A and B are shown apart, each in its own frame.
Chain A
Amino acid sequence: MTSSTTFKPGVKDVASFLSEYSVMLFGSGATCIRMEKNMHRIARSQGMEAEFSILPRHIHLTVGDGSDTVTSVVAIRDMPISFAKIALLSKLSWQMADCRYDFRQAVKVLAKIGSTPGTPPWRLLLLVSLANASFCRLFGGDAMAMAVVFVATFAGFLVKQVLTDRHVDFRLTAVACSFISAVIASSDALFSLGATPEIAVGTSVLYLVPGIPFINSFCDMIDRHYLCSFGRMMNAVVISCCLSLGLCAGMLLMNLGMF
């Protein structure tokens, strides 16, 4: 679908496009190896070369066509992880490489990908609560522990959705949500509802564990992107510490021993 009057972008245009593209791809949870491959593919489709490095809060990008070089530094934005966006952004890079889109079409598609809707909040709430209850079962929890974990996750995740909508700091959100979930899950032990209260409390906060940043961090480490790997790892560790803090506070409030 190559346009007959194909627009030839300048180095600045491509640098600006790749800046937005890289921020969106990184924010959606792509690994460094995927970012590298996609961005090189896009730059080469425009007859240029691109190199980038990912710093903890910025992406540093240089684009050149042999005669002209442009360097840009763009701030990383916090956005929800979205594999649907990663799939669409990767597809866009191939569409450009295979000359199915010209540059102007690609810019429009990129803007459209940015507004891709996520999973509807109520569906997400229900699915996550069910998932965490299943998790409890996988760790050996009984039916009562599963029910308690379902309710604890439902309440905690609901609060998470509300606080995230109000742009409350994600660390405070993690503390608040794990505290609420731990307090509710403590009811299994306090009222002797089931035989596995320890598992109920332990799994009630697991929906907050930043699993994907942890896995991405290891992936980047294998690919020798140590700086980015460390940045992602630190983010994940900070969230884990916050959820542990909330869990601990909840258990102390309910006068529940750890062992």
Chain B
Amino acid sequence: MLVEFLQDALFAAIAAIGFSAISNPPRRAYLFCAVIAAVGHSVRFLLMDCAGWHIVPASASASLLIGVLAVLISPKTRIPAETYLYPSLLPMIPGIYAYRTFGALVMCLYRGTEDSFLHYFYLFAQNGMTCFFILLAMVVGATLPMFLLPKISFQATRQKTNS
């Protein structure tokens, strides 16, 4: 269990670094992206595997934590919170659910009989709804701290006076 937990954190950190590179962040942001992503993903792992939570509330809670960490770190490094927030969220994007939704849709179109159509339509709806609600929970959870703490979020890049 501990090995799985650590593996989860490590791979989430690597994924965050790689995907943050696509969005060209300042160099000093990479380390924080990795740490925040690792913490967020590990929390989701614990909530789902130890506490038995469903993936949607677990994703929302982990995203909220990611959002709070991003907003709190941003003024210290003078980098906007989004720089940490978005790459840290990406490892939690429900890619496999999206893939299965799309796969089920294609199978709906290909399979003509009513039984198989209903089966694949069920898979399409189930995976699609799960995917949508995970995304919604993630985004609302992660951006909430930014909107609730605008003074911290939008003054992060301000240079401090030397007086």
Contact = CB atoms under 8 A, between A and B. Distances in A.
A84 interface: yes
A83 B25 contact: yes
Interface residues of B, number: 54
A89 to B, nearest CB: 9
Contacts of A29: 23, 82
A136 to B, nearest CB: 9
A214 B135 contact: yes
Given A100-B159, A215-B139, A258-B103, A87 B80 contact: yes
B159 A80 contact: no
B140 interface: yes
- Which of B7, B12, B15, B90 has the most A CB atoms < 10 Å from its CB? B15
- Which of A85, A93, A134, A202 has the most B CB atoms < 10 Å from its CB? A134
A199 B96 contact: yes
Interface in A56-104: 80-87, 90-91, 93-95, 98, 100
Contacts of B107: 258-259
Given A83-B26, A87-B78, A218-B139, A98 B158 contact: yes
A131 B18 contact: yes
A225 interface: no
A135 B15 contact: yes
A84 B15 contact: no
A54 B100 CA distance: 34
A113 interface: no
A137 B95 CA distance: 12
B157 A94 contact: yes
B21 interface: yes
B104 interface: yes
Contacts of B123: 259
A206 B95 contact: yes
Contacts of B6: none
A128 B86 CA distance: 15
B82 A86 contact: yes
Band of interface residues on A: 35 or more
Given A37-B154, A83-B24, A128 B11 contact: no
A91 B99 CA distance: 40
A211 B142 CA distance: 14
Contact of B90 (A81, A95, A130, A211): A211
Interface in A1-51: 29-31, 33-34, 37
A137 B8 CA distance: 8
Contacts of A222: 140, 143, 147
Contacts of B158: 91, 94, 98
Interface stretch (A116-124, A166-174, A186-194): A116-124
Nearest to A214: B135
Interface in A188-229: 199, 201-203, 206-207, 209, 211-212, 214-215, 218-219, 222-223
A181 interface: no
A98 B96 contact: no
A179 B24 CA distance: 25
A53 interface: no
- Which of A86, A131, A202, A248 has the most B CB atoms < 10 Å from its CB? A131
A93 B159 CA distance: 11
Interface of B: 7-8, 11-12, 14-26, 29, 41, 78-80, 82-83, 86, 89-91, 93, 95-96, 98-100, 102-104, 106-107, 123, 135-136, 139-140, 142-143, 147, 154-159, 161
8 contacts: A83-B83, A91-B159, A134-B11, A214-B135, A215-B139, A218-B136, A258-B103, A258-B106
Given A86-B82, A98-B159, A132-B15, 14 more contacts: A37-B154, A83-B83, A84-B24, A87-B83, A94-B159, A131-B19, A132-B18, A135-B91, A137-B7, A138-B15, A202-B96, A215-B142, A258-B107, A259-B103
